[in-house]
């Protein structure tokens, strides 16, 4: 399997899972953002703690970073399976699902081992994704927030 094909699969599979299982992709997008914050602010300390508690664990820092990045969106996705009710919400869920899939690739690839990272970053697909990275993240965040705001509960009218 070529690296372009691997990247395309990494982009398409999460999208399909989010859409077909009617998972609230806006929450998964924001959970992925949370995972990135955890990686940036906690991962080094978590790696030190694991080395202290289990020095023979044999888990690399990049593995810990990938776990910390992907654990919040995966748990959120599992909890939110079939949470999208109604045809319109399900159709609108496609936008945050696409943004989530692309953001996951953008954030995960730099955490891979150097050889695999270099191979993936030389592909045409990666170039296209990274070219529009800021637009994807900005629109994904805006769409996710709007999507969440649209789902607020409506006040009950008093009789």
Q: How far is CA 37 from CA 40, 119, 130, 131, in A?
A: 5, 26, 20, 22
Integer Cα distance of 129 and 135 in angstroms: 10
Structure tokens at 87: 């045809």
- Using the CB atoms, write b or e for 39-52: b if 16+ within 10 Å: beeebeebbeeeee
CA-based nearest residue to 97, from 38, 11, 6, 8: 11
- pLDDT tens digit sequence for 86-138: 888 888 899 999 999 999 999 999 999 899 999 999 999 999 999 999 998 89
- pLDDT tens digit sequence for 24-54: 999 999 999 999 999 998 877 776 767 666 6
pTM equals: 0.87
Q: Where are the domains of the chain?
A: 3-150
Over residues 62-88, the mean pLDDT reads 92
pLDDT bracket for residue 56 (50, 70, 90): confident
- The DSSP H or E segment spanning 158 is none
């Amino acid at each position: 399997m070529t690296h372009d094909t691997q990247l395309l699969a990494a982009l398409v599979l999460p999208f399909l899972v989010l859409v077909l299982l009617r998972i609230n992709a806006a929450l998964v997008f924001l959970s992925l953002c949370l995972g990135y914050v955890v990686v940036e602010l906690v991962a080094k300390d978590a790696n030190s703690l694991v080395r202290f508690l289990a020095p023979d664990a044999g888990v690399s820092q990049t593995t810990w970073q990938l776990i910390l990045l992907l654990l919040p969106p995966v748990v959120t996705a599992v909890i939110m399976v079939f949470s999208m009710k109604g045809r319109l919400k399900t159709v609108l869920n496609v936008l945050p699902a696409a943004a989530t899939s692309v953001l996951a690739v953008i954030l995960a690839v730099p955490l891979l081992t150097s050889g695999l990272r270099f191979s993936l970053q030389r592909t045409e697909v990666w170039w296209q994704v990274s070219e529009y990275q800021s637009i994807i993240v900005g629109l994904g965040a805006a769409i996710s927030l709007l999507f969440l705001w649209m789902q607020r509960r409506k006040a009950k009218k008093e009789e």
